[in-house]
Structure 1
Amino acid sequence: MKRVGRLGDAVMHSSMTEREPPSSSLAAPLRWALFALAWMCVGLGIVGLVTPVMPGTVFLILAAWLFTRSSPRFERWLLTHPRLGPSVVAWRASGAVPRWAQLTAAGSMAGSFALLVFIGLSVPVLGIIGTMFVGISAYLLTRPTA
């Protein structure tokens, strides 16, 4: 018996004393999936930057996180991009969200909620969505500004 792990749990080991690294055949498909998802987030982020309906920065932050795990080259590209990078860099540095983005996001959620009321969603559904919107808005509005 050999003691292993942070908590010193006793674990029975076979003849193999060290864990083998994950198979590269499994790592490569996961890396490619994360890479593809990152590019999808970049696309959604760009759409979000030019339309008032969708938040762009959230998708760019997610894309940077995905690129970190799939392609450091494209993570650097995103972080140094003159239009897409500054909000991601500010978020990573201090969790900062520009004031205009905070107000735009909160206003968009309020407008979306008003539209949902207007089209006649049921009260329980409105309650769930309203609670989520208030929570997200509260979080955003309490972040430091860039």
Structure 2
Amino acid sequence: MAPDTAHPNRPRLLRYVLLSIGWLSVALGVIGIFLPVLPTTPFLLLAAACFARSSPRFYHWLTSHPRLGPWIAGYLRGQGIPLKGKVYAIGLMWPSIGLSCYLVPLPWARGLMLTTAVLVTIYILRQKTLRQPLHKQS
């Protein structure tokens, strides 16, 4: 693999770690398209962030991909998150957190999970709502 010309001062190990996390996130995001309990958009956003810091080529590939790009395009352009995406993310997150809190008896872990869920919910709700549909009907 050729040295990264876009990030010449980035340590090689950090670049490989970011690339690995990015590709794992792409894989989980794709699985999330078909598996309703696994969210797609957060994984693709994480992949985009990792690729932006490690490989401009993979970042461009992801953001311009005909199937994956539309999931994150509005957010990356600062236009917001589709209402369906907000409802889906929050609607799946809370039952998952509830089940996790039920299964994990440690009070500190429950507190951490609930605090994280509240903060993520606030973050999602504060984002602009993209008024166009995520995918165009053909």
* TM-score, scaled relative to structure 2: 0.73
Paired position in structure 2 for 1:140: 124
- In the alignment, structure 1 residue 39 sits paired with structure 2 residue 36: no
8 A Cα contact 1:44 1:59, kept in partner: yes
User: For residues 113 and 29 of structure 1, what CA distance do their matches in structure 2 show?
Assistant: 34
Paired position in structure 2 for 1:67: 51
**Among 113, 119, 122, which residue is 2:97 paired with?**
113
User: For residues 42 and 50 of structure 1, what CA distance do their matches in structure 2 show?
Assistant: 13
The number of equivalent residue pairs is 123
Paired position in structure 2 for 1:58: 42
Tell me the CA shift for residue 122 of structure 1: 4.4
User: For residues 67 and 125 of structure 1, what CA distance do their matches in structure 2 show?
Assistant: 31
User: For residues 15 and 104 of structure 2, what CA distance do their matches in structure 1 show?
Assistant: 43
Call closer, same or farther: CA 1:70–1:129 in 2, change over 3 Å: closer
Paired position in structure 2 for 1:91: 75
**Which protein is bigger by CA-based radius of gyration?**
1
- Any runs of at least 4 consecutive aligned residues in structure 1 with deviations exceeding 6 A, and if so which? none
Q: Work out the percentage of aligned pairs sharing the same amino acid.
A: 37
8 A Cα contact 1:87 1:97, kept in partner: no
- In the alignment, structure 1 residue 79 sits paired with structure 2 residue 45: no
Q: Aligned to 1:94, what secondary structure does the other structure show?
A: coil
User: For residues 43 and 67 of structure 1, what CA distance do their matches in structure 2 show?
Assistant: 14
Paired position in structure 2 for 1:28: 12
Note the residue ranges of structure 1 that are not aligned, 5 or more in a row.
Answer: 1-20
- Aligned-CA RMSD value: 2.3
Paired position in structure 2 for 1:14: none
Call closer, same or farther: CA 1:43–1:139 in 2, change over 3 Å: same
Q: Select the structure with the greater relative contact order (CA < 8 A; seq sep ≥ 6).
A: 2
Deviations 1:10-31 (A, max 9, x none): xxxxxxxxxxx75xxx733433
* TM-score, scaled relative to structure 1: 0.70
